[in-house]
Amino acid sequence: MNHIPRPASASNATEIVDPQVLVRRLRVVHRAQSELRRGVPVVLVGRTNIAVLPAETADTSSIADLWAIALTPPVLLLAGERAATVLGKPSEARVQAIMLDREYLTPEILRSLADPTLAQIAPPDLRTTTVPDEAETALALLKIGRLLPAALVAPVGVAPFIVADNLGLLSVPAANVREYPDATASTLQRVAEAVVPLDDAPDARIVAFRSPDRGVEHLAILVGRPETHAAPLVRVHSECFTGDLLGSLRCDCGPQLRSALHRMSQEGAGVLLYMAQEGRGIGLVNKLRAYALQDGGLDTLDANRALGWEADERRFLAAATMLEQLGIHRVRLLTNNPDKVSSLIACGIDVASREAHSLPPNGVNDAYLATKAKRFGHIL
């Protein structure tokens, strides 16, 4: 089996010899993001040791817990684009740290500062301060949990594991957080397979892949026997609950999914990788928030950025790993997105050709498709 060259950002993961060590390192990150989703602080251990609490899930009790272990008053971290809006002035910084008087550190105000779709509460005298080390890692951890990248953080001193243990909080090394996306993608395990005849592809099988920390799951829909073809038709399709399942007219995801399967069935073989990357990687809840911002006049790119996310948070190393495990190393890629082509090539997949996959607008998604072409570079 060919080995996929890993991106430089995944180098830490590939240095680990014992796979059980890697699993433990991944598992602690998975546990940490679960704690944060519940509104429980975690201690991030790195160049600076900081307690992290999501603005989105903070409550009165968890804010008090953060104050109890803080060496200095907590500060609010916001992704650059969101911070610029909150502060009312442009900034090129990726992360900003904002000081708030203690009386304004309430769940309602924190959520308002994090989420532009809520009624905006503007505390007086917002002041920026020095961004702590590991600030970007803290926001990356929130993104792993599909939370808004806005966190209340505070330094906890030189004995972070003791501080965490004394309060029953989980501690997580910052290095584990940084390696998590690529490490989970490169170590996906094939865990189940079944024949599932589909309307558009009667000769279909579904193969399930799961990361070793038992977290993210991706699916491969195999039509016919693509592994026996020199360069089968392949589509990397990011899941879309609203488009794929509900038939939403706001996007072209559902028609693209069914059209791809139909074309593969006509050719007699193909692979559709169904990736758990809803909303270009920001998750379903945040995609709905982005929709609300689009209804207020933003396009899909600016809406993602207004929430503090990048325009496209997806990674394609997982797709390359799945193809490798399926024994497919050369493909004809069914896509209008040149970034998918270059990303798969960077991960070691031989892309023999790009196959066009555009569908006409439906009267509702016209502006969305125009944005994909103009601002994302899709070939439509």
> Which positions are catalytic?
312, 314
The C-alpha angle with vertex 37 and arms to 36 and 38, in degrees rounded to 5, equals 85
Alpha carbon distance, N-terminus to C-terminus of the chain: 35
Nearest of 77, 201, 72, 223 to residue 136 by alpha carbon:
77
Six-digit token string for 91: 């900034």
What contacts 24+ positions apart, CB below 8 Å, involve 296-303? 299/367, 299/368, 299/371, 299/375, 300/368, 300/371, 300/372, 301/371, 301/375, 301/376
Six-digit token string for 252: 């072209």
Nearest of 154, 152, 171, 143 to residue 59 by alpha carbon:
152
Six-digit token string for 269: 């073989």
**Helix, strand or coil, per DSSP, at residue 266:** helix
**Helix, strand or coil, per DSSP, at residue 73:** coil
| Bridge partner residues of 1 (DSSP) | none
Six-digit token string for 156: 């906890």
**Helix, strand or coil, per DSSP, at residue 8:** helix
Q: How far apart are CA 147 and CA 150, in angstroms?
A: 8
H and E: helices and strands count for the chain: 15, 14
Residue 153 · residue 135 · CB < 8 Å: yes
How distant, in Å, are the alpha carbons of 80, 135, 138, 155 from that of 131? 12, 7, 11, 12
Pairing of strands 204-210, 127-129: unpaired
Q: How far apart are CA 80 and CA 305, in angstroms?
A: 9
Residue 236 · residue 316 · CB < 8 Å: yes
